[in-house]
Amino acid sequence: MWLRLVVVVLTSVGATTSFAVDGDGDSGIVFYAGNWEEALALAQQENKLIFLNISASWCGPCKLLKNKTFPDTEVGNPPYISNIYFQS
C-alpha cells in the first residue's frame, strides 16, 4: 500500500513539473483567477487544456509544489506547452 502511494505521489510531482503557462518570463506558473466555468469556457474558446491543481494544507508534496516548483521560471515558461492553470 505504501509503495503504491509513494509511486503515485512521485509520478504526480514529476508530471506537474513538466507543465507550464504562457507568461512574460518573470514568474512560474500563474493560476487562472476566475471560477471553474470561466476557465472551462476560456479553454474551449482557445482550444487549450486545463491543468487542475488540487491541494491540501497538510499535504507535504503539495507544499513542495507550491513553494518550489510552481514559482520556478523554467517550469512556468517553456515555449512548447500552453495550458490554462486552475487551482481549487
Residue 7 lies in a domain: no
Provide the residue type at 49 as one letter. L
Residue 16 lies in a domain: no
* Predicted pLDDT of residue 12: 55
Per-residue pLDDT band at 64 (split at 50, 70, 90): very high
Residue 78 lies in a domain: yes
User: What total number of domains does the chain contain?
Assistant: 1
Rounded to 5 degrees, what angle do the CA atoms 67, 1, 10 make?
Answer: 30
Residue 41 lies in a domain: yes
Residue 70 lies in a domain: yes
DSSP bridge partners of 87 = 53
Cα gap 28→42, rounded to integer Å: 20
Give the residue numbers spanning the domain of 46: 29-88
Residue 48 lies in a domain: yes
28 with 70: CB under 8 angstroms?
A: yes
Residue 64 lies in a domain: yes
Residue 85 lies in a domain: yes
Alpha helices in 17-87 (DSSP H): 36-46, 60-64, 73-76
Instruction: Give pLDDT tens digits for 35-52.
Output: 999 999 998 998 888 888
